[in-house]
Structure 1
Amino acid sequence: MSILMLYRWKSVVTVGLCFYLIVGLWVAPSWAESVNADRSPTAFQAGLQFYRDGEYKQAVTAFTQAIAHRSDHASAYSNRCLSYMQILDYEQAIADCTQAIALNPRDLEAYLTRGLAAHKLGDHDQAIADYSQVLAYDTTDYRAYYNRGLAQFALAHHEQAIADYGQAIQQGAHLDPRSLADFYDDRGLVHLAQHDHDSAIDNFNQAIALDDLNVRAYFNRACAHHQQQDWVAALQDFDQVVEVNPDHAEALLNRGLIHQHLGDIDQAIADLHQAATCFCDQGHMQAYRQTLALLTRLQFPPSLVG
């Protein structure tokens, strides 16, 4: 049995920038607030306030004014870099982080954010180099380990990714359980990519133990069970996903296909119909059309000719 879109690799998680997804990595929460402004000009202070208020384009303008006032203002470059990240201008973010590092080679946040921007642009080798530079100065920075693990995974460097996630778990043991659960979940995905289902499931179990509403961990554990052909366990996990998020189209789709495989056609039709509706509502039209085609074949199987 084949399952469409069996599991969705989580690209990256942002905390501080935008806590969920698809893309972002661990960065300093509210980094702008943590910078020592040392009585900088009014434009710099205005930039910090704009950033705190979520007015990122205005923050860029204010930090640009601060830089025009003082071209060696490392903190202005650093904060403008983070503001550019928020408006998805990764090339300019890299340029500002590079300038901040030139002015202050120990600006670890600039290395971290430049690595994030490089990751967003698909330059995972550069991202790894920047995170490694952070760790050369501070071997306890869980953010750098976690982000480097994401970049290693993107390059299919599985053993290095597992090692980095392990360090992130160790150094980030003080984090809130939901954040720590992400580290286990991502390490589980690496094991799943290696077809080490037992290790993958163990990591997903730990993620769920830390956060029993962790939809991603239930979904990924369902995929691991599916690969083991443990249909009952996979169904139970997809049930958990749908219980927490009734509009989780991928879970509904996969649950429907398992029901089809097990011969429960009525339940399969119900799940596929709901999945199609969710895909349409969410604007995923290709998945919507694929699901409709599956549903049509299930409801109106081809007749034998002859």
Structure 2
Amino acid sequence: MTLERTRIAVVGCGAMGSVYAARLASVGHEVLVVDAWADHVRAINEHGLALSGPDGDRVVRISAHTEVPAAVVDLVVLAVKAAHVADAAASLAPLLGPGTQVLTIQNGLGSAELVAEIVGAERLVVGIASGFGASLRSPGSAHHNAMRALRFGAHGGGRLEQVEEIAQAWQLAGFDAEAVPEILPMQWEKLICNVAYSAPCALTGLTVSEVRDDEHLGAVSRAAATEAWEVARAVGVRLEVQDPVALVRDFAARMPLAKPSALLDLEAGRASEIDVINGAVPREAAKAGLAAPVNATLTALVRAREVRPTEED
């Protein structure tokens, strides 16, 4: 992998994928994108991919496709929603050469295991994106409000040198990107924050700070986070976090007006990723012979909301 001219395919060019692709391409990486939204792909090919944000506006010329092209790359960035991970991973063969690495970045837990089974654990890197606020304003045009950190780790540990090369390629594009020797604790720390707000916000339409500060919902949010923290410790995850309530309150303070993706999905009439966020906690708890009733209940309520939306929807 040549840092100055890495060949990168971003599969899943939604809001987050567009941020990744535009910034990576803007510093000289050879980027192509794949997305099922035909209007988005057409706009990118005709006018370029536009990205706006606090650090300025840019338009990059890249190749966009609705299906995976036969073009071997150095790095595949799998940025689809968790529900589409298995199908997307199964489509990657035309992009994969002997040295191609696959970086998968999704919310929640469970996606990496699915991708590893399909592309091979030896080439898989897991990414965590924290503090990002991104949206698609129109076909071919994305915006981001914030862009805090990306952390990368080899699936199952090891291969730190290779992961560091990937992180350096992203650093060239202005990302706060680092390779870490163990990614699982960081996945759980993000999950603890997500379970505190994903379901409560999705069920009420409130922002993260509104949930945090609400007399009733705040208690539910804190209970969900504490339960996830207890489950992580029970299954042997080496967490550095000692106070899950302080963690999630600080999370909300950094982005008080944010709406979690689960709420945005419901507002758009899409199925959310609640099964890999709040729903991941009871699945992991079962591995230790435990129950996670708070997160199990929240997951069930969001699923019911998806199946039977309210009259206002």
Q: TM-score, normalised by structure 2?
A: 0.29
Relative contact order (C-alpha < 8 Å, sep 6+): which is higher? 2
More strand by percentage: 2
User: Which has a greater percent of helix?
Assistant: 1
> Which structure has the larger Rg?
1
